[in-house]
Chains A and B, each alone.
Chain A
Amino acid sequence: MTHDPMADIRASFFVECEELLESLQDALSVMADHLEGDGTQDTETINVVFRAVHSIKGGAGAFGLTALVSFAHRFETVMDELRCGRLVVDHEAMKLFFQAADMLADHVRLARNDATGSPPGSETLLLAVEALMGERAPEVEEEVEFAPMGLSFDLALPDLEDLSDTAEAGDAGRGWTVHLRPRDGLYASGNEPFHLLRALADLGTARVTCDLSALPGIEDLQPESACLGWIVQLTGEIEETDIRAVFDFVEDVAEITIAETPEQAGLEALPFLEPEPEPNVVPTGPTAGPPPEPAPFVSAAPISPVTPTLTLLPGASLPAAPAGVTPQEAPTETRADSPAERPAAQPAQTAQAPAEAVAATVRVDLDRIDRLVNLVGELVINQAMLAQSVTEAGLPANSAVMNGLEAFMMLTRDIQDSVMMIRAQPVKPLFQRMARIVREASAAVGKEVRLRSEGEGTEVDKTVIERLADPLTHMIRNAVDHGLETPDRRREAGKPEEGVVTLSAQHRSGRVVIEVADDGAGIDRPRVREIAIRKGLVPPDTVLSDAEIDNLLFLPGFSTATQISALSGRGVGMDVVKQAIGALGGRIAITSERGRGTRFSISLPLTLAVLDGMVVRVAGETLVIPLSSIVETATLAAEDIRSLGPETNVIHIRGGFVPLFDLGTELGYRGPKSSYEGGIVLLTAQEDGSRAALVVDEILEQRQVVIKGLQHGYGNIPGVAAATILGDGQIALILDPGDLVENATGRTRTADPLLALAG
């Protein structure tokens, strides 16, 4: 299977984009908070904003994502203005920044799905954002290429003599004379003349000589200043641009002259070298070499040659003289003596903030994690079975085996907890998505709304987070649309015009609690009751408590919208939300105070791989009922049981009537019992608020069970969600009470055949 590494990097890039978009949101939120506060902005926060957009642009460019690059570039330009302090950050600007960040996320999403083009409204938004910069028109970025020429690597020795090729008569091509005189900055920047000379030599046939004209006397020699130059005579199929390209990195730190020499000029004709007028330029003392004759510096006129050799006195050191120095030493020696033009900045600038402990992370395929979760589940099961066998073997409680087993069980439990939490992720990205929903929703209905979030770091199983997105979106939209009053009404009520929606998450007694609250008008209970009656959801004369009225909102088909606003009227009701939460093994509750606001509270299991269940026995079979659906358990007294139809019963409990179901019958284990007096029932609540009483023979225990999926190709079994393996190795089916009740017959009585005949 061919493996494309670029595809991997591309995938990884989009993961990185998510992280960058998240940090962009965070930083913008901080800026918004500061705006509310004392109005001053913090430079590091702004830098984070800039870098996020900048990095997305950088990576996107590598994959040719032109629409994304183009948007990111213009956005980045505005952020650069911000960074330089040339933009005023006010309410209007913050709004535009948030919108631009959202639009950037949309661009990323399109790019990830291989779509070309931009999301709608992109250009309009960009123009609005750019308008913040005032009359400054966005600059057109010039692409200035600085790519250096290619090199070959055949040369091993840095000896200048070796760089000069012996010219053959009739060399084709053009002749060039190149004069390189580095300034101090060339060495200070880590450039190495030898490499440049070698690059030149590679262009064609070359002869290199050293220009000593600027060499001062020994006593004036500054070890780190540049005073050497080189003259290179080149012949070959060479363009001036080729030569210029070699000097790409050093144009600003050297004097470079390139002159085309007439073809007849042989290699003997070297230009005369005249340095700029400098004091003490003429070498004195025992340094060999003829003194240079004064003549114009840049000229192609034939001049007497300068011999390239130089004898060094002991103790004298020449800067950057590669002649006769071995390759390995040249770099280090050169650099050790290399003139550092004492760069203006101070060395070893310490980091501004104390080094934060960056949490090390590993990226893992989800498949691997799922497999690990499965294996750990099986480990727990097998270990429970072992414990059972050991107990049955009758070993004394203090024996080494029992103690060892005890330790083993605790260890297994720890491993299981750790593994379960691997799939847990903070809810922050989800909450940030909700922040965007709030922005869009409030804009759509013309209300000023702010989202406050708490407990963003709370960790929840990844699958749970994904399946929470839709229900939360609906609730947020409802809060903005229905929960919060219009600005006018809020003003009348003495509330600040800006409404607040609070989204919070926390761990509480082994579950995750997520709450959506608004500071709006609260539930209009009389109206809710009236609508419910009108829609036939409750009989007209029923007396309902406040809590019961609130729960009417969860009934299917319920909607209090008198007008279809931009958000509602899509047919999404709280019943769908409640179902979705139920499918996750969770529960949702609602509380509301008139005039103060409404709060929805969702309670979810920490992970989908285990379940808190009640283990029961029915007709000799062991079953598990999810605890989250059990309201209470009861023992039936004769007077509680009332007949309904010829074969069905209801029980009277808590002032209401609840249908009775015999699990043994529903699951096909046995027929209805002759009497249910004294029987044990589990009272369950379904998503739609209706309740049921399930008859079991015996309640064994409450415990956490590992959920094993059922694979069987013969269709779904109504009422059975999954299976688990108990300590004794036996398989127990895990029931789905809601599903079971929906498909149930309700037979808890055998109809009297005589009565039936009588009609």
Chain B
Amino acid sequence: MIETRSQSSTEVELLSFRLAEQEYSVDIMSVREIRGWTRATPLPHSPPFMRGVINLRGTVLPVIDLASRLGMPPVEGDARNVIIVVHAGGQSVGLLVDAVSDILALPRTALQPPPELAADLAHSFVQALTIVDGRMIRVLDLSAVLPTYQTEAA
């Protein structure tokens, strides 16, 4: 479990992870926990990036194949993969990724807006870029990744 820490407004903490040979990250404030891979129960007639739902300690948690969501080939899905449980916009969702890398503490000034590249679908989900140790890390805009919700009435 990741503790949620309060951050000063000049610093930001990111959880970085690998997805299809690239590095992405999310604001750590939205991360609830990290789980090993479990098989998701598929939801019929759902978009291809919806892997299905998993049992998170008795709650039904939807899982998104993040690679597929970003327009890349889907993650295979096996024990090496990791599900990052995030909470944003009042919903909880699991993001299926390759592996978690690190927790980075950066000054906000280190984040730059991404350049305009209309051809790249992944672009619309990236809200900032940053360089750490010579590697480019994309900061995800969770609100773009997560769906707009409707609760299914029981």
Residues of A at the B interface (CB closer than 8 Å) are: 377-379, 381-382, 608-609, 621, 666-669, 707-723, 725, 729-733
Given contacts A712-B43, A714-B47, A731-B41, contact A725 B60 (CB under 8 A): yes
Count chain B CB atoms within 10 A of each CB in A608, A669, A716, A723 and give the residue with the most: A723
Q: Is the CB of B44 within 8 A of A717?
A: yes
Distance from B111 Cβ to chain A, minimum over Cβ atoms (Å): 27
In the complex, identify which listed stretch (B1-9, B116-124, B133-141, B142-150) lies at the interface while the others stay far away.
B142-150
Select which of B44, B46, B55, B152 is within 8 A of A730 by beta carbon: B55
* Chain A residues within 8 Å of B54, by CB: 731
* Closest residue on chain B to residue A723 by CB atoms: B60
* Chain B residues within 8 Å of A732, by CB: 41
Given contacts A721-B152, A731-B53, contact A713 B147 (CB under 8 A): yes
Given contacts A668-B44, A720-B44, A725-B60, contact A709 B153 (CB under 8 A): yes
Q: How far is the CA of A729 from the CA of B55 in the complex (A)?
A: 7
Given A379-B58, A667-B44; 12 other pairs, CB 8 A cutoff: A609-B154, A669-B42, A708-B154, A711-B92, A712-B50, A712-B149, A713-B147, A721-B152, A723-B53, A723-B60, A731-B60, A732-B41
Distance from A329 Cβ to chain B, minimum over Cβ atoms (Å): 61
* Chain B residues within 8 Å of A608, by CB: 154
Q: How far is the CA of A708 from the CA of B43 in the complex (A)?
A: 14
* Chain A residues within 8 Å of B47, by CB: 714
Q: Is the CB of A710 within 8 A of B55?
A: no
Q: Is the CB of B58 within 8 A of A725?
A: yes
Given contacts A711-B151, A715-B150, A722-B152, contact A382 B41 (CB under 8 A): no
Q: How far is the CA of A719 from the CA of B53 in the complex (A)?
A: 16
Select which of A377, A379, A714, A725 is within 8 A of B46 by beta carbon: A714
Select which of B45, B58, B153 is within 8 A of A717 by beta carbon: B45
Annotate B13-44 by CB proximity to A: 1 below 8 A, 0 otherwise.
00000000000000000000000000001111
Count chain A CB atoms within 10 A of each CB in B42, B58, B59 and give the residue with the most: B58
**Of residues 56 to 105 in B, which have CB atoms within 8 Å of A's CB atoms?**
57-60, 62, 91-92
Q: How far is the CA of A608 from the CA of B153 in the complex (A)?
A: 11
* Closest residue on chain B to residue A381 by CB atoms: B58
Q: How far is the CA of A382 from the CA of B57 in the complex (A)?
A: 7
Q: How far is the CA of A707 from the CA of B46 in the complex (A)?
A: 21
Distance from A647 Cβ to chain B, minimum over Cβ atoms (Å): 19
* Chain B residues within 8 Å of A713, by CB: 91, 146-150
* Chain A residues within 8 Å of B50, by CB: 712, 714
* B contacts with A: majority SS: loop
Q: How far is the CA of A717 from the CA of B58 in the complex (A)?
A: 21
* Closest residue on chain A to residue B150 by CB atoms: A713
* Chain A residues within 8 Å of B152, by CB: 709-712, 716, 720-722
Q: How far is the CA of A725 from the CA of B40 in the complex (A)?
A: 12
Q: Is the CB of B59 within 8 A of A378?
A: yes
Q: List 27 A-B contacts (CB under 8 A).
A: A377-B58, A378-B58, A378-B59, A379-B58, A621-B41, A666-B44, A667-B44, A669-B44, A707-B154, A709-B154, A710-B43, A710-B53, A712-B46, A712-B152, A713-B146, A716-B150, A717-B44, A720-B43, A720-B152, A721-B154, A722-B152, A722-B154, A723-B60, A730-B41, A731-B60, A732-B41, A733-B44
* Chain A residues within 8 Å of B147, by CB: 712-714
* Closest residue on chain A to residue B146 by CB atoms: A713
Q: How far is the CA of A611 from the CA of B56 in the complex (A)?
A: 21
Q: How far is the CA of A495 from the CA of B11 in the complex (A)?
A: 86
The 10 closest A-B pairs by CB, nearest first: A713-B147, A378-B58, A710-B152, A667-B44, A731-B41, A713-B149, A707-B154, A708-B60, A381-B58, A722-B154
* Chain B residues within 8 Å of A668, by CB: 44-45
* Chain B residues within 8 Å of A381, by CB: 55, 58
Q: Is the CB of B60 within 8 A of A711?
A: yes
Select which of A711, A725, A729 is within 8 A of B62 by beta carbon: A711
Q: Is the CB of B57 within 8 A of A378?
A: yes
Distance from B38 Cβ to chain A, minimum over Cβ atoms (Å): 8
Q: How far is the CA of A730 from the CA of B57 in the complex (A)?
A: 11
* Chain A residues within 8 Å of B62, by CB: 710-712
Q: Is the CB of B57 within 8 A of A709?
A: no
* Chain B residues within 8 Å of A379, by CB: 58
Q: Is the CB of A712 within 8 A of B53?
A: yes
Distance from A72 Cβ to chain B, minimum over Cβ atoms (Å): 40
* Closest residue on chain A to residue B149 by CB atoms: A713
* Closest residue on chain B to residue A667 by CB atoms: B44
Q: How far is the CA of A729 from the CA of B58 in the complex (A)?
A: 8
* Chain A residues within 8 Å of B153, by CB: 709
Distance from A140 Cβ to chain B, minimum over Cβ atoms (Å): 55
Q: Is the CB of B59 within 8 A of A708?
A: yes
Q: Is the CB of A718 within 8 A of B57?
A: no
* Chain B residues within 8 Å of A733, by CB: 41, 43-44
Count chain A CB atoms within 10 A of each CB in B43, B62, B148 and give the residue with the most: B43
Select which of A666, A667, A711, A731 is within 8 A of B149 by beta carbon: A711
* Closest residue on chain A to residue B54 by CB atoms: A731
* Chain A residues within 8 Å of B43, by CB: 710, 712, 717, 720, 733
Select which of A666, A669, A707, A709 is within 8 A of B151 by beta carbon: A709
Distance from A374 Cβ to chain B, minimum over Cβ atoms (Å): 9
